[in-house]
Amino acid sequence: MALEEPEVSAGLVAAERALAKAVRTRMVQPAAAADVETLALRQALHGLDGPARTVVKAVAGRLAAARRPVTVAGPAAQLLAADRYGRARTVVATAETALGAAEPATVLIDLDGLGPWWARLLARPDRAVIGALPDDPGSRPLALQIGAALAGPTGDDRTFWVTDAAASDAAIVAVLAGEGLIATPAARAGGLKLFMLTGYVQPHDARLKAPAVATLGRLSGVIGHAPVL
């Protein structure tokens, strides 16, 4: 039986060439700060449906990974990194090792299962949360992305705030709500708790210094921000 060469439509070829051209164009763009890249990506995602948004974010992540190494700690971070950045990544055993990765590496660390490593960022001015995956609206982040400095606001952000308060999550949420802050529990370990605050809340925000909040515990503070995409 004679084999027949499949017919490829001109439209499909044109679409694949357009994709290749877009990738080449993006790869030659100069590196930008994380918040700047987020703003550009958010404009590209505008108007796309769910599956298309997922594909565009994955392409953007793989392009980013082609420029800088990806270091991950924890099983969730490994899966999320594979989905967003592809398989080219370095896996380390501890959060401390991941935090020691040289800039400009993309560092992704599990929120759960590695101890309260995120609380150590209070004493690490050289490290801050700059992203969280999944980053879809309404999703609970499972891993935090760490950078060398606080990211700027993007218009739709989550703020990560640590406290050693012994009060229940509900009580802490209520106190923060009284100061106009919307809080959601994110993680807990070793007597420390991590909350997500809706919006971009700066470390020295007066609401976090209010007497009612100050009495919750002796140790607290903002450790970074993550955009929602």
Instruction: Note the pLDDT of residue 149.
Output: 85
CA distance 51 to 53: 5
The predicted model gives 101-114 an average pLDDT of 91
Query: How many domains, the chain?
Result: 1
List, for residues 152-209, the tens digit of each pLDDT value: 999 999 999 999 999 999 999 999 999 999 999 999 999 999 999 999 999 999 999 9
List, for residues 211-227, the tens digit of each pLDDT value: 999 999 999 999 999 99
Question: Per the domain annotation, does 135 fall within a domain?
Answer: yes
How sure is the predictor about 38, in pLDDT bands with cuts at 50, 70 and 90? Answer: very high
User: What are the angstrom distances between the C-alpha of 182 and each of 87, 161, 169, 185, 187?
Assistant: 36, 12, 13, 10, 16
Question: Per the domain annotation, does 26 fall within a domain?
Answer: no
Identify the burial level of 195 via C-beta atoms within 10 angstroms of its C-beta, where 0-12 means exposed, 13-18 middle and 19 or more buried: buried
Question: Per the domain annotation, does 22 fall within a domain?
Answer: no
Question: Per the domain annotation, does 27 fall within a domain?
Answer: no
- The range of the structural domain enclosing residue 204 comes to 34-227
Question: Per the domain annotation, does 15 fall within a domain?
Answer: no
Question: Per the domain annotation, does 28 fall within a domain?
Answer: no
List, for residues 87-101, the tens digit of each pLDDT value: 878 999 999 999 998
Question: Per the domain annotation, does 2 fall within a domain?
Answer: no
Question: Per the domain annotation, does 23 fall within a domain?
Answer: no
